[in-house]
Amino acid sequence: MSAEGPVTALVLAAGLGTRLPGSSPKGLRLLAGEPLFIHSLLAFDRCDRIERLILAVPVAHVATAQQGSRGRLTKPLEVIAGGERRQDSVLFGLQTALNHDPPRSIRGRLVAVHDAARPFPDAELISRTVEMARDKGSAIPVVPVTDTVRQIDPTGTGGRLVDRETLRFAQTPQVARLDWLLEGYRRGAAEGSALTDEGAALELAGRPVVLVPGSPSNFKITTPADLAAAEGILQPQLLLGTCIGYGEDRHPLEEGRPFILAGWVIDERNGPSGHSDADPLSHALVDAILGACGEGTIGEHFPDTDVRWAGAAGLDLLGRAARVASEKGFAVVNVDAVLILDSPRLSPHAAEIRRRIAGALGISSERVSVKGKRSEGLGFEGTGRGVSCRAVALLVRKASA
Ligand code: MG
């Protein structure tokens, strides 16, 4: 009976989730700023008992899901189009798993089927479910029913009490041999039977349904209240993973130089002098972003003594700084910058500058603020000898990091 082969995790995010208001399918709804399915994929990616991942999403969302998972996982992921019902998506996923490594014997292979609506499958739960399925061929995690249960009476009277000791709630991941699951789901498709979970498919195939303890934290998101509870669980982690950075830059002004901010010319003459485009806004933002993720300074990453960076445009360096942050596991939440200068006026150009910065950072313009501050004749900025810029950036650690 024992199954020694590789384990594939099949995460189901193709359902519409009609009890959750909103237009996007449930598995793609955001939790802590990320699609629900990412949380499950990351949990399986971290578990060393899982070898590869399959994600089923509605056909219209395959490309988005592929894009959203890129660079986040260490294990191979295949994104597939799910079906109309859960059982259709499972069958597509099982067939995809079957096509992986075809020379290997199907008998030893396990599939862990998981609903993306459960974003917190912990490593112990995944491990004990896989271990039990290795030994017995199947494992379904269950938790006790803690509320009193009453079977309602269609006539409108009070119904009758049910002994809750005999009841269990079934969770996912439900892990079983690939051949058994295929048997059950194929038979279900042929006979037109409704299969709500892998336990039902195993029963239909006449295979044993083995129970293992589930986990109370592995709850299912069905209503807006469940989503709010999940946000509440992730909130402290979010705060710990939130980092702020600060950057400054200043340049002398020189007659005849263009004044460039984020690649946009705000004045043809009397711009900042320096190597490349001497863009104080982009340079201050680069330092703020690098500072937030503990990555040092613009001079360390892009030294002007290096021929690669000597002529680099500020906006290009900003895009590169955002990639440094992303590779370190951070996403930029928002940036705010102040340019201290008396002329030219910044406000006519602010919208275009914000749009360009937003593009370089891969965030929306609403999350970019750029403003000018007059120096009222004080300091080098007020006497027209130079310009300075101060910037802050807020970064958040992505769920995988
Ligand atoms: Mg500079």
Q: Give tens-digit pLDDT for 290-319.
A: 999 999 999 999 998 888 887 889 999 999
Ligand 1 centroid distance, CA of 278 (Å): 5
Ligand 1 centroid distance, CA of 383 (Å): 19
Ligand 1 centroid distance, CA of 248 (Å): 9
Whether the pLDDT of residue 5 is over 80: the answer is no
Q: How far are the Cα atoms of 80, 81, 169, 200, 201 from residue 175, in angstroms, in the given order?
A: 20, 21, 16, 13, 12
Ligand 1 centroid distance, CA of 191 (Å): 70
Residue type, 80: I
Q: What average pLDDT does range 249-258 have in this prediction?
A: 94
Ligand 1 centroid distance, CA of 260 (Å): 12
Q: What is the pLDDT of residue 108?
A: 82
| Predicted confidence (pLDDT) per residue in 63-78, tens digit | 999 988 887 899 999 9
pLDDT band at 2 (very low <50, low <70, confident <90, very high): low
Q: What is the pLDDT of residue 323?
A: 95
Ligand 1 centroid distance, CA of 334 (Å): 21
Ligand 1 centroid distance, CA of 273 (Å): 9
Ligand 1 centroid distance, CA of 378 (Å): 21
Ligand 1 centroid distance, CA of 134 (Å): 60
Ligand 1 centroid distance, CA of 314 (Å): 8
Whether the pLDDT of residue 107 is over 80: the answer is no
Q: What average pLDDT does range 219-248 have in this prediction?
A: 89
**Is 27 in contact with 17 (CB distance < 8 Å)?**
yes
Q: What is the pLDDT of residue 104?
A: 64
What does pLDDT average to over the chain? 91
Q: What is the pLDDT of residue 401?
A: 39
Ligand 1 centroid distance, CA of 396 (Å): 25
Q: Hey, which of 141-155, 190-204, 222-236 has the most confident mean pLDDT?
A: 190-204
Residue 1 or residue 137, greater confidence: 137
Ligand 1 centroid distance, CA of 114 (Å): 50
Q: What is the pLDDT of residue 3?
A: 59
Ligand 1 centroid distance, CA of 284 (Å): 7
Contacts of 366 (CB under 8 A, 6+ apart): none
Ligand 1 centroid distance, CA of 254 (Å): 14
**DSSP 3-state assignment of 395?**
strand
Q: What is the pLDDT of residue 304?
A: 84
Strand 242-254 to 386-397 pairing: antiparallel
Contacts of 299 (CB under 8 A, 6+ apart): none
Question: Which residues lie across from 80 on neighbouring strands?
Answer: 56
Q: What average pLDDT does range 340-359 have in this prediction?
A: 94
Ligand 1 centroid distance, CA of 282 (Å): 8
pLDDT band at 399 (very low <50, low <70, confident <90, very high): low
Q: What is the pTM of this model?
A: 0.66
Q: What is the pLDDT of residue 70?
A: 83
Q: What is the pLDDT of residue 283?
A: 96
% of the chain residues with pLDDT over 90: 73
Ligand 1 centroid distance, CA of 343 (Å): 19
Ligand 1 centroid distance, CA of 398 (Å): 29
pLDDT band at 19 (very low <50, low <70, confident <90, very high): confident
Residue 17 or residue 133, greater confidence: 133
Q: How far are the Cα atoms of 26, 35, 39 from residue 22, in angstroms, in the given order?
A: 9, 14, 20
Q: What is the pLDDT of residue 125?
A: 97
Ligand 1 centroid distance, CA of 364 (Å): 25
Ligand 1 centroid distance, CA of 283 (Å): 5
Q: What is the pLDDT of residue 289?
A: 98
pLDDT band at 247 (very low <50, low <70, confident <90, very high): very high
% of the chain residues with pLDDT over 70: 97
**Is 45 in contact with 53 (CB distance < 8 Å)?**
yes
Which protein residues have their CB within 5 A of the ion that is ligand 1?
249, 283
Whether the pLDDT of residue 1 is over 60: the answer is no
Ligand 1 centroid distance, CA of 339 (Å): 13
pLDDT band at 343 (very low <50, low <70, confident <90, very high): confident
Q: Residues, the chain, total?
A: 401
Burial class (CB in 10 A: 0-12, 13-18, 19+), 340: buried
CA distance 9 to 109: 11
